[in-house]
């Protein structure tokens, strides 16, 4: 008789004081404007010996958008862009995790402004450490590119010189530090 070892699910919680999401988009077709969402919350749950069976859920409040320009931030929260009043959070839920060395490709569903689309994130492991208070921590850096129009963010303004005020492609990067529950 053989005994199969039971999988042990481990749960990690995003440390919002050491995590954030950033984005970069072309402005006037001549430069790049960067912004960030100051708060990211969520969990990573799974058997550490089987990363492919893990799941990740992240939530980002839209109200926390910061581009270092208050009028632009207010416009981004408006119905022209994120429509924060009706869609107060951005959500990501993983559907597949593939490990390649110490890195991962995480595929899942991103919901912005009530529109859900599949995306893939290239994730780099930052490692594992124990903090001075004895808590185990994991660090990850994730990146992807997306088309903002796919998520209903269509507002733009044509320029006299040709082109548009806001580019369609958005570079997204997420820095996560997680604490073992």
Q: What is the CATH number of the domain that holds 71?
A: 2.40.128.110
With CA atoms as reference, report the closest residue to 157 among 80, 86, 66.
Answer: 80
What pLDDT sits at residue 8?
75
How many domains in the chain? 1
Average pLDDT value over all residues in the chain: 92
Percent of the chain topping pLDDT 70: 96
In a domain, 1, yes or no: no
In a domain, 168, yes or no: yes
pLDDT at 97 over 60: yes
Pair type for strands 166-180 and 9-14 = antiparallel
Each residue's pLDDT tens digit, 26-36: 998 888 999 99
In a domain, 4, yes or no: no
Range of the domain at 105: 9-180
pLDDT at 85 over 70: yes
Percent of the chain topping pLDDT 90: 76
CB 151 within 8 A of CB 113: yes
What pLDDT sits at residue 178?
96
Residue 177 corresponds to which tokens in the numbers above? 């530090």
In a domain, 3, yes or no: no
- pTM (two decimals): 0.90
């Amino acid at each position: 008789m053989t005994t199969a070892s039971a999988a042990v699910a481990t749960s990690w919680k995003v440390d919002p004081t050491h995590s954030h999401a950033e984005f970069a988009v072309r402005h006037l077709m001549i430069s790049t404007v960067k912004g960030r969402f100051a708060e990211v919350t969520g969990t990573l749950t799974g058997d550490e010996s089987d990363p492919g069976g893990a799941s990740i859920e992240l939530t980002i409040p839209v109200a926390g958008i910061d581009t270092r320009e208050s009028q632009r931030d207010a416009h981004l929260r408006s119905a022209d862009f994120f429509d924060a009043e009706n869609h107060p959070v951005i959500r990501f839920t993983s559907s597949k995790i593939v490990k390649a060395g110490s890195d991962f490709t995480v595929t899942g569903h991103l919901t912005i402004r009530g529109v859900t689309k599949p995306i893939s994130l290239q994730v780099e492991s930052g490692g594992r450490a124990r903090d001075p208070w004895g808590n185990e921590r994991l660090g990850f850096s994730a990146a992807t590119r997306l088309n903002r129009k796919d998520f209903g963010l269509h507002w733009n303004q044509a320029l006299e010189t040709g082109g548009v005020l806001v580019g369609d492609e958005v570079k997204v990067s997420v820095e996560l530090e997680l604490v073992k529950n």
